[in-house]
Structure 1
Amino acid sequence: MNRFPSIHYGRIDVDGVEVHYRESVPERPDAPVLLLLHGFPSASHQFRRLIDALGADYRLIAPDYPGFGETVAPEDFTYTFDRLADIVEGFTDRLGLHRFAMYLFDFGAPVGLRLAERRPDRVTGLIVQNGNAYLEGMSEAARDFTALSPEQPGAEDTVRGLLALEGTRFQYETGTPDPGLIAPESWTLDQHYLDLPGRKEAQVALAFDYKSNVERYADWQAWLRKYAPPTLIVWGTGDPFFTEAGARAYLRDLPEAELRLFDAGHFALETHLAEIAPLIAEFLDRDR
């Protein structure tokens, strides 16, 4: 019989932000810790099946960033990637997380790599899933989108077009050979949160700030070379934003990393959980 973990849902105040999170309660108190950093436009709920699959053996912790999911931020919160990293860093401090691996997906890569720069002694390893840190990993569409600036005519309308239901569903289904494997509540739940008051404005601000991530790629690559954390790279090759070249680029700086490619889209866990979860378990067991 399969073992299913107990899941705890909590809230922690971090600098005036009410951070919502979910975490598994493993059977062993000394189980390895994996901080799950979600992508756009999702939240911690994107990891619910992974937590069910592995949470009995590992402590999996997934916060919602400000502007996402159930987290509540003050009206005057400044939505930049630096501020998201500030809140996640404060969140790990409040939970007393001193040693953990990180799962970097999409927005989770720039958030997590900022945290890694600040607290390299805490990072035991990285699992990278369609989380880009290399120029060659950006598709033409991604380059055009991240180059947008608020002063450009029509730029905000372009961003807001991706925040509609059609844009959210596009992110899940594009590049996926069998969209029938993706539960429709995945994109409809994301859309529910996107449609809450103030959320689209938060996402517009983050979209315009994304170029700050690209500017730091060289620094993050240098960090990877310096600290050489154990790394597992799992990547959906049909991703319309972050290409296979971005997955392979990590091997320049982390030649010992394990690379696994899947015929999947951006949200590879939606369709390939059965293949990816055992790889994560093996990685965390080595990390132990």
Structure 2
Amino acid sequence: MAFPPITRSAHRFLDVDGVRVFYRESLPERDDAPVLLLLHGFPSGSHQFRRLIDALGARYRVIAPDYPGFGHTRAPDGFTYSFDRLADVTEAFADRLGLRRFVMYVFDFGAPVGFRLAERHPEWIAGLVVQNGNAYEAGLSDGARDFIALRPDQPDAEATVRSLLTPDGTRSQYETGVADPSAIDPDSWTLDQHFLDLPGRREAQVALAFDYHSNVERYPAWQAWLRKHTPQALITWGANDPFFPAPGARAYLADLPDAELHLFDTGHFALETHLPEIAPLIADFLDRTWR
């Protein structure tokens, strides 16, 4: 019996505008393999895509960077943590790697980073895979709205943000809405917490939390971009996400009526529990979109 190909991967750093960006990249057998750029969420990093890279990387060039303030990436002292700056670094990273056409996977924080990138370079975007990456007010839970409304000058606002950066807060983001928590590898939230506990990381996350309102303010522009460019889109969504519930997935269909939508009975980190269902959908989408 023929053994299926096993993904070969590289783990590298790239200096981008003073930021030492860490990234994972699969090494597919074909030089002209379709390219998939994976943009991670909070409080994670590119490591959240390890299993997906293993599943797809033998056939596709899969690239996953860590943003400044996340994972193994190292930003210089005085770096300004905002979503505009995360997008600046991601844009420069893609440019340095020579990425001129790719399918973009956006998850959580990856959506505001990715849609900024798409606005700047619509010619780069061959298609979209959206997984619990919100761009509509309909996709904000009451808890998410309360969180986004926090401002630095409000009493206890910073303490509220920091409460999410604890081991219990990190673990809850993985387990909330999941029918069988035993399906989730505890290394996921443990590694997230390790990076959150590094010097300066909590301050970076607090700054990004207080900047999140800038994303909601850009929702109309991103929706207009979707209507104008009508990218092919695959939407895979954990329907029990406590931050970005299922209406956020369905909202995309107003601007992309031909998008393919799949809702799964799981929480925020849908790949943790439903990789066997989601990976084949992405592979099929890559094949169709790249042609």
- With the length of structure 2 as denominator, give the TM-score of the two structures: 0.99
Q: Which aligned pairs between 1:1-288 and structure 2 lie closer than 5 A?
A: 1-288=3-290
User: 2 CA distance for matches of 1:62 and 1:210?
Assistant: 22
- Give the residue type in structure 2 aligned to 1:133: A
- Give the residue type in structure 1 aligned to 2:149: A
User: 2 CA distance for matches of 1:3 and 1:240?
Assistant: 37
Structure 2, unaligned runs of 5 or more: none
- With the length of structure 1 as denominator, give the TM-score of the two structures: 1.00
User: 2 CA distance for matches of 1:63 and 1:4?
Assistant: 21
The offset of 1:2, in angstroms, is 2.4
SS at match of 1:234: strand
- Give the residue type in structure 1 aligned to 2:58: A
User: 2 CA distance for matches of 1:185 and 1:121?
Assistant: 37
% identical aligned pairs = 72
Note the alpha carbon deviations across 1:12-50, whole angstroms, 9 max, x for none: 111100000000011111110000000000000000000
- Give the residue type in structure 1 aligned to 2:65: P
User: 1 CA distance for matches of 2:194 and 2:238?
Assistant: 25
The offset of 1:127, in angstroms, is 0.1
The offset of 1:3, in angstroms, is 1.5
SS at match of 1:29: coil
User: 1 CA distance for matches of 2:118 and 2:54?
Assistant: 26
Name segments (4+ residues, structure 1) moved above 6 Å: none
User: 2 CA distance for matches of 1:282 and 1:53?
Assistant: 13
8 Å CA contact retained: 1:32, 1:287? no
Residue correspondences, number = 288
Structure 1, unaligned runs of 5 or more: none
CA-atom RMSD, angstroms? 0.4
Note the alpha carbon deviations across 1:108-127, whole angstroms, 9 max, x for none: 00000000000000100000
The offset of 1:75, in angstroms, is 1.1
- Give the residue type in structure 2 aligned to 1:123: I
The offset of 1:175, in angstroms, is 0.2
User: 1 CA distance for matches of 2:204 and 2:266?
Assistant: 28
- Give the residue type in structure 2 aligned to 1:124: A
User: 1 CA distance for matches of 2:207 and 2:287?
Assistant: 39
Note the alpha carbon deviations across 1:117-165, whole angstroms, 9 max, x for none: 0000010000000000000100000000011000000000000000000
